[in-house]
Chains A and B, each alone.
Chain A
Amino acid sequence: MKKNILWRFALISFTVLFAILFFLPNTPLFSRMPSWWKENMPDKGITLGLDLQGGVHLVFEVEGERAVEITTERIEQSLKENIANKKLSAEVTREGLAIAVSPNSMDLRKVIEESFPILTPVETGTKLVYRLSDKEANRIKENAADQAIETIRNRIDQFGVAEPTIHRQGTNEIVVQLPGVKDPKRAIEIIGKTAQLEFKLVDDASPIAAEIPATIKPGEEEALLKRFAEKLPPDDELLFERIVNRETGEVTKRTILLKKHALMTGDLLSEAKVNIDQRFSEPYVSITFNAAGAKLFEEITAAHVKKRLAIILDGSVYSAPVIQERISGGSAQITGRFTMDEAKDLTIVLRAGALPAPVKMLQNVTVGPSLGSDSIEAGKLAGIIGTILVVLFMIIYYKLSGVIADFALLLNIILLLGAMASLNATLTMPGIAGIILAIGMAVDSNVLMFERMRDELKSGKTPRAAVDSGYHKAFWTIFDSHVTTLITAAVLFQFGTGPIKGFAVTLSLGVAINLFTALIGTKTVFDLINSKREVKRLSI
């Protein structure tokens, strides 16, 4: 009997020791520990959730369909070239994700299906209609999401955020968590920018160009596009350049008719940096191409001297200068009335590369650092007051036995914090609520046992027998009531988002630990008291 108590006593002491060891990094004491300690002992502790330390939680959706469309567009271009190379004549058009080729001839089919086996025919009547196979489309979407994560990670690294979390959710969503980020708005802009840099020729020669008004007011773009939708040549598109009048600050949109086909894109870029314009002392971004890019740029400029080449970022024209002569050396400038921060951010996204498809923001939860620290303070206060209330009540209602229950409660809190630290769990505000609720629930098991003991004492049992049968008889009641709480906590963990997961973690750990402290902790104390001598009266 005595050996048994000793063994349990040792078990409790060890768990408490471990709990303290794991929780130490969360206390100021840890920084004063010797270095061998810091190197060899647990150093992670409990992590504060975004809602407590401040930061942003973002969910983006990668528009995979768009990536498929971009690929289809590329295939359309090379298909045209292939057909031309084979000296065949055909009309190739694209509508969304479908490429139509007419007329329908065996020769054309052969060319198409040999050069692009990933295309599957969907219509073979008077004209041939092809689409990317479902398998290929899915692969592209899958790739787009993977690449987008890579690119976003690069951008955030360059922007400079400590310990960002970036992961995929489902097939096409990306979750980005940036704890403690100072300027969330800028971070969101950097992540969300597609940063698709393109160089396209301005189609000034088209007769329709003269019909289009040269400038419009902001907001009129859509109406204009609608008006000219039918009239534009099939290979052309209409984009806008934002013009700010230096004197009045008035913003207008200049219309620019472009050849759809991009001569060059930003993927051949090797460096982007901010420079300051001498005349207006305004920042601009200068970009340098890699060797292949420089060669291509030289060829393009040589072939189109005296024509205008537009620099386009994410569908907006930034400038469209006339090519005066062949440009070698491989560099270009992007100007656009940037602020210093905007220019810097642009270099970040250009260096990190374009997203394979646009991303759409689905969710943004930003918590400022002040709310986080307010919440922590409020949580501490509520926790302390809650504990004091429960502790006092137990002592008043159950006397010395109440003290034992309070000892178990304290044990419960220590072990709960230790368990969270050892799992390196994240503490959120609902998580703090979970701890405080667990404090209230922790004494429940003791209440159930004490009431049982009272029953047993009333029926005339000795204190020792009352303790034993009280524990024995209350066990299943306690077990059942804990399991039902654990079931809901498990469901909450399964479906909850960050903060609520935190609640499920603290609540379920609290309840599980409570089983231990109530069944082993307090029982040991009672046995210890009873083992010395036969107690005449139980203070309960």
Chain B
Amino acid sequence: MLELIRNTKIDFLGKRKVAFILSGILSIIGIIAIIQIANGRANLGIDFAGGTAIQLKFEKKIDIHEVRKAIEEGGVKDFDLQDLLTVNKMLIRVKKTEQQLGQLSDMVTGTISQRFPDNKYVTDSVTVIGPKVGGRLRVDAAQAIVMATLGILIYIAIRFRFDFAVGATVATFHDVLAVLGIFFLLGKEINLILVTALLTIAGYSLTDTVVVFDRIRENLRARIKEPVERVMNVSINEVLSRTIVTSFTVLLSSLALFFFGGEVIHDFSLAMIMGVIVGTYSSIFVASPIVLLWRAKRPFARKQKA
């Protein structure tokens, strides 16, 4: 029997102060990110902000600075340029354009064809999003996050006691905030595909939490005389290996996506990798302590007497 983790007796709940500080910082960064996004001060993708994105694939190596110069001289302002991880691919994004939709991409490609006549390219993709659609997608994304969270909260509340639901929801929010915050700090683009990853993380990070909670619930019934904190610690230790193994397999497939899946879902996989790691951490260090805290305030003794 190969067991990487065997009969551990780690005092997870005892470390809750450290965990709360770390998680507090992560969550605050996430909240700051949300405020900045709402104020339009984040690196919003064109699907939220509106604008034009053009992805070109060149035949030969091309210098990004020269391309930047060429586009600037072509009269396009306020754009950013990004080398993609696939060779000779480049992404040009122009935000909030005054020009009529569609004309801008012609302007950019026209300039590049003119300036680099001996380095041919194919247009991989052109995405043009009008401000109206961008605004609508922002609202949709916000609604989706609220709906998903509510749905999960309701389901957990039905299947577990309310205090467990609180713990699971706080842990889930924590995971989403942490990944969003890290993306924000890294200056990564906040776009639809990231929201998709965040929602997936919300759904998946619960898997670990449910595993832990199931065991705590089971052990609370069996070890009714022991203090809750100890029961929780024992439970977390008992399921530690499966918590880590289940996350590890998803981490493996996320890594495969990150390294081999191509540029379209590169950021998505990065978010998933972070989400899986943060989700595992939070199901151990955040979810249960929250339940414990919540119970400490409530008349938990009543349950014990009963």
- Residues of A at the B interface (CB closer than 8 Å) are 51, 59, 61, 184-185, 188, 360-368, 370-371, 374-375, 377-379, 381-383, 385-386, 389-390, 393-394, 396-399, 429-430, 432-433, 436-437, 439-441, 443-444, 447-448, 451, 454-455, 476-477, 480-481, 483-492, 494-497, 500, 503, 507, 540
Contacts and interface: CB of A to CB of B under 8 A. Distances in A.
A488 B262 CA distance: 25
Given A433-B269, A481-B211, A440 B206 contact: no
B124 A367 contact: yes
A447 B253 contact: no
A251 B55 CA distance: 32
A448 B243 CA distance: 9
Contact of A378 (B2, B202, B262): B262
Contact of A484 (B106, B210, B255, B262): B210
Nearest to A365: B127
Contact of B1 (A361, A396, A454, A481): A454
A363 B257 CA distance: 28
Interface string B129-165: 1101100010011011001100110011001000000
A492 B204 CA distance: 14
Contacts of B253: 386, 389-390, 436-437, 439-440
A507 B200 contact: yes
Contacts of B239: 451
Contact of B207 (A378, A436, A485, A540): A485
A377 B127 CA distance: 22
B101 A361 contact: yes
B214 A368 contact: no
- Nearest first, the 3 closest Cβ-Cβ pairs linking A and B are A378-B262, A440-B253, A488-B203
11 contacts: A362-B101, A362-B132, A362-B133, A364-B102, A397-B245, A437-B200, A444-B207, A480-B214, A484-B210, A490-B151, A495-B143
A4 B212 CA distance: 33
A433 B261 contact: yes
Contact of B152 (A374, A441, A488): A488
A430 B193 contact: yes
A441 B204 contact: yes
B199 A488 contact: yes
Interface string B246-284: 101111111111011110110011001000000000000
Nearest to B55: A371
Nearest to A388: B256
Given A363-B129, A393-B252, A484-B206, 8 more contacts: A375-B264, A378-B262, A436-B253, A444-B250, A447-B249, A485-B200, A485-B203, A486-B203
A480 B148 CA distance: 15
Among B4, B152, B211, the most chain A Cβ lie within 10 Å of the Cβ of B211
B68 interface: no
Given A371-B124, A379-B262, A484-B207, A447 B245 contact: yes
A481 B102 contact: no
B57 interface: yes
A61 B255 CA distance: 41
Dominant SS among interface residues on chain A: helix
B261 A436 contact: yes
Contacts of B127: 364-366
B248 to A, nearest CB: 7
B29 to A, nearest CB: 23
Among B1, B4, B122, B141, the most chain A Cβ lie within 10 Å of the Cβ of B1
B196 interface: yes
Contacts of A447: 242, 245-246, 249
B235 to A, nearest CB: 12
B203 A487 contact: yes
B99 interface: no
Dominant SS among interface residues on chain B: helix
B291 interface: no
Nearest to A442: B249
B192 A497 contact: yes
B196 A430 contact: yes
Contacts of B144: 491-492, 494-496
B200 to A, nearest CB: 6
B148 A487 contact: yes
A232 B55 CA distance: 48
Contacts of A540: 1
Contacts of B268: 430, 433
B126 interface: yes
Contacts of B242: 447-448, 451
Contacts of B206: 481, 484-485
Interface in B193-223: 193, 196, 199-200, 202-204, 206-207, 210-211, 214
A507 B197 CA distance: 12
B43 interface: no
A494 B143 CA distance: 11
B128 interface: yes
Nearest to B202: A488
Given A390-B252, A399-B2, A492-B144, A366 B261 contact: no
A193 to B, nearest CB: 13
Contacts of B241: 451
B151 A382 contact: no
Nearest to B276: A440
Contacts of B272: 437
A445 to B, nearest CB: 9
B36 interface: no
Nearest to B204: A485
B123 interface: yes
Contact of A188 (B102, B137, B202): B102
A314 to B, nearest CB: 14
Contacts of B238: 455
B86 interface: yes
B114 interface: no
Interface string B226-250: 0000000000001101100110111
Contacts of B113: none
B8 interface: no
Interface in B34-87: 55, 57, 86
Nearest to A538: B1
